[in-house]
Amino acid sequence: MTKCWLYALVAVSLLSACSDPSNIIHESSEKSESSLQIDNCTLASPCAGQKGIALWYDQATIVGEEAFTIELSVPQGTQIVSAVLSGEQMNMGYIPVFFKQNLDMRYSAQAMVGLCTQALMQWRLTVTMLDVNSKKYEQVFPLYVSQ
């Protein structure tokens, strides 16, 4: 009889100490969903780089496996050597980005990135350039992609 009371006491204490797991999951998912709303650089709010470089994407929210446009404005005399997208938190390989000159010192490129298991993926766009003195330098810009 004592064993039955002991098991009953343990069961009651365990049940009263546990909360509803669906509430915990729901509350944490609400917090994580709200933190996933990260806007990319746009024309209204471009990313400012060193030496007068500005970069923006054609949309604030970029969805994986959908094409988007990258715009880049550089100072007079700057040459773009190369550009590549790479995953910040995941190994998705390197995606080359090919800029074409639109206007005087303004370039654009079409790009697309893949998806993985994360709801929000952070990518890095690395642009290698030559300044007016032919000195090579790199500028890194963030890119956030959602599913």
Whole-prediction pTM: 0.73
Per the model's pLDDT, the better-predicted residue between 107 and 35 turns out to be 107
DSSP 21: H
| pLDDT of the residue at 2 | 59
Longest dimension (CA), the chain: 91
**107-125 pLDDT, tens digit each:** 999 999 988 788 899 999 9
* Mean predicted confidence (pLDDT) in 61-70: 95
The sign of the dihedral angle between the CA atoms of 10, 16, 17, 23 is positive
Q: What percentage of the chain exceeds 70 in pLDDT?
A: 75
Confidence band (pLDDT; 50, 70, 90) for 92? confident
Other Cβ atoms closer than 10 A to 71: 19
Q: Name which CATH class applies to 47-146.
A: mainly beta
Distance CA 18, CA 16 (A): 6
Q: Do residues 56 and 43 lie in contact, with contact meaning Cβ atoms separated by under 8 Å?
A: yes
Q: Where are the domains of the chain?
A: 2-35, 47-146
Per the model's pLDDT, the better-predicted residue between 24 and 126 turns out to be 126
**4-22 pLDDT, tens digit each:** 554 444 344 333 333 334 4
Distance CA 16, CA 27 (A): 20
